Each structure stands twice: as structure tokens, then as C-alpha cells.
Chain A
Amino acid sequence: MTNLTILIIVPLLTAIAVLFCRNSAQVKWTSFIGSLVQLGLASALMCAYISERAGGNTAQMLFQQRYSWYSALNIEYYIGVDGISIAMIMLTAFVVAAGILISWSVQTLTKEFFFLLLLLSVGAYGFFISLDLFTLFFFLEVAVIPKYLLIGIWGSGKKEYSAMKLALMLMGGSVFVLIGLLATYFATDIGGGVHTWDLLKISHLHISLQTQLYIFPFLFVGFGVFTALFPFHTWVPDGHSSAPTAASMFLAGISMKLGGYGCLRVATYLMPEAAQQYSWLIVLLATIAIIYGAFATLMQKDLKYMNAYSSVSHCGFILLGIGMLTKTAIIGAVMQMVSHGVMTALFFGAIGMIYERTHTRQISELGGLLKVLPFIGTVYIITGLCSLGLPGLSGFVAEMTVFVGAWQRPDAFHRIATILAAASIVVTAVYILRAAGKSVMGPIINEQYQNLKDASWNEKIASILLIAAILAIGIAPFWLYNLIAPDAQLIMENIAKGVTGN
């Protein structure tokens, strides 16, 4: 599996096939099979990648493909992967498969629902493999609008408000990205006044510090909106809580990672000197997000709101890792992206399963679910433990790596930020244990809960898929680490080169 375009074509064909299905069962099976094929392809791609690297291929990006698209503007369809992209693609494949399985009970407008889910995944896959900034932006935007319809049509609560807020804020983010990318494009010169969108080429050019200082905020804030950069995180709680289960999973599991990936790959990698200059601000905002998110979670009474705010806090670790600008911290940031993606998708999945049965998400109205719903209850507890950083699960590995990397910055400012961020884990433990204790353990407080049915086969497969990923990362982290480390090293070298070159 070395032809990356297949990664876009398979979900696209699945989406088109869904349009021609005659009933909702066909729709579901088509999407499920499509996502399974995609998961298989992604795994095959990962194996091919690892064996290629083991064979001594040291090119920065593997499996490149390059076709001229709009030659007058130097726009190319240029794709390729490194370890970081592979990790993100695997994450996407897992979350998409699980999300489609969880949505088995969608009744209204099934065809449209699965079509939009698959369209969103096309955007995500395309984004992670793009090496041309225009193509990358194209796929980023493809992933925005389906969310509006997913939340608006199939959502719950104040869905119109949330959907509009989310669409406008993400659009705002992409507009910032657009401005940054245009400025980047016109700041490049590859001879004879010709500009380029080529990510690798731009990384080797030297853009003056002055220009970088203007461009970097646009790129970082733009992508930051997607990944809940404080103070642009306000779409997260509303968007997640109103979204249908699968859309929440996609949002938190994939969409927020688009932002993190963009902050790292585009903003930090292409504008290394500016990243250095602004890093204190990133660290500051990330620390605020971590602490604020954690305390805000404490106050929530609704399971989905709780998980949404905790996502703000957890995504803060991604930005903290990027802002620290040490190799270990960046590896930690990528690991956190993967770990949080899987973990939060599972979390939202579990909440969705609970909600579908009890028709409430209020913690106070739940209790003793473990007795009647042993499978779902267990899933909820596992993901909760992962969220609070229990060793052996993915959350611990990722957060630990971020902290270790952050600690390598010896000055007082970074030390304090690291300590504060680490301290937030205690708060996390409080809210997770409280919610799990109240809703899953304890006595059954509502008699009607006695008759609830435990997870169906599709929900079980979805949960097991994601739990397997969490365990794999938690037990054998070196494996993900080795995948990412060389590329994080390259990013760090680019940053160091920029600084010494000045």
C-alpha cells in the first residue's frame, strides 16, 4: 500500500456508493465495509512505512506523489507521509470505523448522515497527507461544513446555535489560516519571482524574521481555533454537547487534531524563528487552557459538557508540547494528539451509548449503570482512567512525555508552567472519579434502568477497537515513539537552524 491517493479515493467512493443505496441497512453496511477497508489500508500503509524506514530510506517524506494542478499559480497535488502523518492517519481510520459502528441506530435521513461523515473523513485524510499548502487548505475546509449539517440536523439541545457557532468559529479559523498561507506563498521566491506552496521547499527557504513574525500568529491562531486554543475554545463545549455521538467523536477525535497537526506542521515548522519568539505566549495560553479547562470540567453536570471541557484541557497539552519546542515535548504533543483522539472518541461513544438508553446525560440522574450495563460501564471507566492518566493506558504515556519534554526547559517561566499543567492532573482525577463514581458505580437510582439492554454487537466492536488502540499505546509506547521521533527531530533541527542562522 504505497499509493497514498487511495486513502482519499476509498472514503470518497464509499460516500458516493452510499448515495446509491436503497435502504438504511445497505447504507450502514456500505459505510462500515468502506471504513474497514480504509482501516486495513491504513494499517498496510503503516507496515509499508515501517519496513521502508527499516530498509534505510531516510527521505523526509515517503511515498510521494506529485501532479501539477494549477500550474499558473504553482499549485500542485503533492502528497507524502512521514511518521507523524502515519500516526494521524491511523487515528482517523480507527475513529471513523468506530464512529460509523456507533451510529448504527441513526434512524432519520441515514443516507445523508453517513454521506456527511464519510465526506468529513475524506477531508481529514487529505489534510494529513498533503504537502502542498493549497491542497492542505482545501482539505481543511472540506472538513468544516459537514459538521454544521451533522450537528444542525441530527443534534440535540440547542443544536442550531451550536452548529452555527461551530461553523462560524471554524470558518474564522480557516480564514486566518488562509491569510497566513497567502502571505507565506507571496513571501517565498524560488527564483524568477515564482512563488511556491510546496511545504518542504518552503521549509528550506529562509523567510525573514520580520515576515515570519507577521505570518506566524495568523497560522497558529487559525489552526489553534480548531484545537481549542484559549480563548478561541468556546465552540468546543457547545459543539460537542449538541452533536450526535458520531459527530462528537469525529469532532474531538479527528477535527481538533487537524488543528494540532497544522500548528505543528505548518505554523511551527515553516516559521521556526517566529515560533521561537512567540513560544512564551503559546505556553502561557496552553497552560491557561489546561487549568481553566480542568476547573471548568469540575463544574459540569452534563456528561457531554464534562468531556468537552476536559477536551479543552487535554488539547492544551498538545499546544503546551508544541510551545515548549523541545524534541521530547513535540513527540509528546503528537502522542497526546493520538491518545486524546482515541480516548475522547471512546468517551463520547460511551456517553452516547448511555444517553441512548437512559435519555439523560445529567450526572445526578444516573447511577449504578455498571450493574445493568456491565460492558458500557466498563468502557466508561476505562476511558475515564485513561483520561486521568493511569499508567498502562495511552493518556499517561502522552502526558508524561509532554512533561518530560517541558521539564527540559530550565528557566523559571517554563518550570512554573510545567508544574501548573502537571498539577491539573489532580483536578482531572477529581472530576473523572466523581463522575464515574456517581453515574456508573453506586446504587441504581432509577427503577427503569433495570430493564436497559447492554451494548449491541456494533457498539462492542467499536469500543473494543478503540480500547485496543488505547492499550497498545499504553503498553508499547516505544512503538509510537519510534514512529514519530525522527520527524520530531527534523522539526527541531529546522527550528535550531533558523535560530542559529540568524
Chain B
Amino acid sequence: MNTDFFILMKSELSLTLIIFILLVLKVWDGIKDNATWLHIANTLLLLNFILGFIFNTDGSLFNGMYHTNGIVFLEKNILNFGTLLISMQAFDWLKTHKHVSEFYILLLTTLLGMFFMISSGNFLMFYLGLELASIPLAALVNFDLDKLKSSEAAVKMILSSAFASCIMLFGISMLYGTTGTLSFTEMPKLITGGGLQIMSLIFVFTGFAFKISSVPFHLWTADVYEGAPVSVTSYLSVISKAAIVFVFISILHTLFLNFESMWYNILFLTIVLTIVVGNLFAIRQDNIKRFLAFSSITQVGYILLGLSAGSAMGTTAVIYFLMVYIFSNLGAFGVIGLVSAHAQKENISDYKGFYKTNPFLSWVITISLFSLAGIPPTAGFFGKMFLVTAGASRGNYILVIIAALNMIISLYYYLRVVKAIFIDPNDTPIEKVSGSFSAKLALIICVIGLVATGFASCIYGYINSLTHLTP
């Protein structure tokens, strides 16, 4: 039992340990240099990431409150990896920040919450994890301490997040009222129909829709993304979104299995709205962070398209896409973060003539944007192909046609940025940005991931074998 506890919960325990170490170091107050802090944090995160690959055993704890298996480990590894990359990219920004240790403590606390959420086998555990993941996140959004916009974003974040939690909690309470249990294993059998349970599906769905910012619950996204520091924005758009989607998959596919035809119809509407509205707003943005916010809303639409397949094929496609999405979004945000830290510029028009001064960064962001647009040979092409294929597996071609046609619109706005970087003339382009070693390394990892993942089909095969194992 005791060893079981340590081995099964190793991801959570190691994160807790890191938080503890950082707290002690903070109290000890012996490290004056930010760079040292950052190196320590990055090393710890790297060790944490490596730990994710060893001692992986399936099992459950606390009467099924907490469970873990191959797919859960994989999801945690993906999140660990993304967090590591973000931490490496944040180097330039945090180097001069006053509160480095607090940043990491908050960041890892939210990650811990996400881990609990993914591993939860019970709504109580799930809700605990969800709140642990969202409240520190609002503090992180506020981390540009002297910027008013950052505070504004944090308030918006916390309010909308609390609102979404309320709605979801209401739905959960109705489920509890009708089934008498909160356990994920017992509940599916008891969800059989009836007005209250249908209502609860709608409420829980709405809560999730808020959290992953799908239309019509997306309004907070752009403001929060714009106000938050770039590293936090990338964390929000990649890690936090991926974690929620991972849980969403199992909630829809197993918990509400009996309501499949119903949630499929809701999902259908949501997908169409999300993709179309996200696209239409993305076209009009001038701020590059807002632009990526809306483009990420569109990407959520495609993720939901894969989810709508309701099969292991769909789950594989979603997890694969999210992994690729980490590379592509962090590639783009990494460059934006460097530019923002060194040149304080965040508008698309500022990027005119960027290629003249920063060829390396230009190619990184271009490849990332092409990946987001789904252009081969980048991994994004494969990710999107599999999502659309999974979506088509239900034979609903209206949905597939709408989703596919929207790829043209999204290509337009991604090319707008590429055009600014490569084509538009500019006499005073952003000066040469010399990023730190770790930030550049993170970008190189992203590019390698983007170019290589698609051809290494074993990755997809591995995910597929896991999703077919677990129902």
C-alpha cells in the first residue's frame, strides 16, 4: 500500500517536492541572482519530466478517487514537457523580474491541480483539481505587476473562471441528486435520461466550454491573453487548455455515454460556432497576442471536431493534436515572448521586415504558424488531418465541409503575419533580438518537434495503442 501510494502518485509528489524545495530556497533567501533561480527551476522541471517515463504502473487509490494508467501518464508527460518548454522560454522575461520564485510556485501549483484533475475518478477530486488549477492561474495572469492591463485581465479571468466553476458545480450537484454517487465508475450506469440529468449535461458542458473558451463562452479569452505576460498566455493557451480537454474527453466519452446522440448535437453546434467565430475575429486583430487568442479558439473547434468522433480514434487524434499544438503554439509564443521582452512590441505591424534582422526567429514563427494552419510537412498538417478524419468517421460531412472550408480562412490570417515578416517593407524593423540560450534551445526543440513528429508515425501508433487499451 505504502509503496503503491508513492509510485502511483509520483507525478503529483514530485511536483509537490519541487514546490517545497522552491519555498525553502525562497525562505532561505540565499540566492540573489535570478539566472541561478531559473537554472535551478529548469533543472528540477527537467528531472520531473524524466521521472514521468519511469515507474509507470496502472492502479487506483483512495477507493477509486484517484486513478492512473498509461494514457494518464502520457497526458501528464505532455503537460510536463510543455511546462518545461514554457519555463525555458520565460528565461528572458523572468531574468529581470522581482518575484521569480513566486512565479514558479504558482505555476507548479496549477500544474498540480491539473494532474489531480486528469487522475480523478470522482467528481470531488475533479472539482478540487479544477479549482487548484484555476485560482493560482489568475494570480499568474497578474504577474506583470506594474501593468494595469495585466490586473484587468486577472480580474476578468478570475470572474469568468469562478462563474464557469459555479455552473459546472451546479450541474454536478444535479448529477449527484439524481444518481446518489460522485464516482466516475458508478455514475455512467445510472445516467439513463430524465430532465434533470439532461440539464446537468448542459451545465457541465457549459462549464467545460467556458474553460476551453469555445464559442459562445469565449469572450474572456482575448482580453486575458492580451493582458497576461506572454509566458502565462502560452501556458493558458496550451497547458491549461490541454488539461481540460483531456478530462473533457473522458467525461463525454464515458460518463455521458448514454447521452451520446445528445451531446453530439450540442457539440456539432459548438464546433461550427467556435471555428467560424474564432476565424472571423482572428482576421481583424492587430495585436499578435489577441490574434493568437482567436486562432486558438478556432483550434479548439478542431479539437472538439476530433472529440465528436466519440471513439478511440477520436481520442488518439485529439491527444496527438494537443501534443503537436504544444510545439506549434509554443514556437509562436516563444518568438513573441522574446520580442516582447527585448523590444516591447506586440503588434502584427511591428513585425514588418522582421526577417531582415531576425532570420532565425522569423523561420521559427513561420514554421509554427504553418503548423497551426495545417500546412505540410509540419506536424500540424498531420494533427489536423487526423482530427478531420476522426470527425468524418461519423459520416457527418456537413460538419467536415464547414471545418475544412474554414482552413482557407485561417490560412489567410496566418499568411498575413508571414507577409508582414517576409514581404512588407519597413525601414525600421525590430532590432536583432538576442535571446538567452535556454529560450533559443526551447525554440529549436519546438522546430524539431514540428518537422519530425509527422514523419515519426510511431508516436501516433503509441498513443493509439494506449487509447485502445483504456475505454
* Residues of A bordering B, CB below 8 Å: 69-73, 75, 134, 138-139, 141-142, 144-145, 148-149, 152-153, 159-160, 163-164, 167-168, 171-172, 175, 178-179, 182-183, 185-186
Contacts and interface: CB of A to CB of B under 8 A. Distances in A.
12 contacts: A69-B457, A70-B460, A72-B461, A73-B313, A73-B386, A134-B385, A160-B423, A160-B424, A167-B415, A168-B412, A185-B389, A186-B392
A186 B404 contact: no
A167 B457 contact: no
B435 interface: no
Contacts of A183: 392, 397
Q: Is the interface of B mostly helix, strand, loop or mixed?
A: helix
B392 A141 contact: no
A152 B389 contact: no
A70 B457 contact: yes
Nearest 6 interchain pairs by C-beta? A72-B464, A152-B423, A182-B392, A175-B404, A141-B376, A70-B457
Contacts of A134: 385
Nearest to A215: B397
Interface of B: 313, 316, 370, 375-377, 381, 385-386, 388-389, 392-393, 395, 397, 400-401, 404-405, 407-408, 411-412, 415, 418-419, 422-424, 457, 460-461, 464
Nearest to A177: B404
A139 to B, nearest CB: 8
Given A70-B460, A183-B397, A153 B422 contact: yes
B454 to A, nearest CB: 9
A153 B423 contact: yes
A69 B459 CA distance: 11
A164 B412 contact: yes
Given A72-B316, A164-B415, A168-B412, 11 more contacts: A72-B460, A73-B389, A134-B385, A145-B370, A152-B419, A164-B419, A178-B388, A182-B392, A183-B397, A185-B392, A186-B392
A171 B374 CA distance: 11
Contacts of A141: 375-376, 381
A179 B385 CA distance: 11
B57 to A, nearest CB: 25
A179 B388 CA distance: 9
Contacts, number: 78
Contacts of B422: 149, 152-153
Contacts of A142: 376-377
A178 B385 CA distance: 9
A179 B404 contact: yes
Nearest to B463: A72
B274 to A, nearest CB: 18
A141 B408 CA distance: 13
Given A72-B460, A152-B419, A160-B419, A182 B400 contact: yes
Contacts of B385: 134, 178
Contacts of B415: 148, 164, 167
Contact of A186 (B393, B408, B411): B393
A168 B415 CA distance: 10
Contacts of A138: 376-377, 381
A127 to B, nearest CB: 12
A168 B407 CA distance: 10
A179 B400 CA distance: 7
Contacts of B313: 72-73
Contacts of A175: 404-405, 407-408
Contacts of B395: 186
Contact of A179 (B376, B397, B419): B397
A179 B398 CA distance: 10
B411 A182 contact: no
Nearest to B406: A175
A71 B461 contact: yes
A148 B416 CA distance: 11
A383 to B, nearest CB: 31
Residue of B392, B411, B461 contacting most chain A CB atoms (<10 Å): B411
Nearest to A173: B408
Contacts of A182: 388-389, 392, 400
Nearest to B356: A109
B370 A172 contact: no
Nearest to B464: A72
A5 to B, nearest CB: 13
Nearest to A195: B393
A181 B461 CA distance: 22
A186 B375 CA distance: 23
Contacts of B401: 179
Contacts of A179: 397, 400-401, 404
A278 B397 CA distance: 21
Contacts of B411: 167-168, 171
A73 B463 CA distance: 13
A163 B316 CA distance: 36
Contacts of A153: 422-423
A138 B375 CA distance: 9
